[in-house]
Amino acid sequence: MSEYRCNCSLHMQLEAAAEDFWRSPKGLTMRLDSLAQDLHFQVVNGAMQMVAPTNGVKALFWRIADDDKVCWKCIEKSLGGDGAGFYRVGWFYPKIPVHPNCRCQLELVMDY
């Protein structure tokens, strides 16, 4: 599939400005913050998956951020498992974070 790319001066200026932004201190800070958030959620959710089998946890609940910025991929995963977002320990569960800037978290469920 070929990508259409406009070569008019306005679009070329906008593209250059976007590239310059991501190289600016503000753009670099935004990228680093995003990477740090992704790493944080990945570590926390990985820890939940590791401690669950040895601590009597029966299931993991997929919790999404309850706001208007939640994407359809996250909503789909929150309905997975048994249809209500509960994934039994030992079951397959989707990789988390689902995408960059994902704010989903796994919660431990002791009695399921």
Say what the pLDDT of residue 2 is. Answer: 45
CA-closest candidate to residue 51, choices 95, 112, 107: 107
Please tell me the distance from the alpha carbon of residue 70 to that of residue 105, in angstroms, as a whole number. 13
Say what the pLDDT of residue 1 is. Answer: 43
Say what the pLDDT of residue 5 is. Answer: 64
Mean pLDDT by 10 residues, the chain (112 residues): 64 79 87 88 87 88 85 86 83 80 87 74
Neighbour-count burial for 63-76, b at 16+ CB within 10 Å, e otherwise: ebeeeeeeeeebee
For 63-84, the DSSP string reads EPP-STT--HHHHHHHT-TTTT
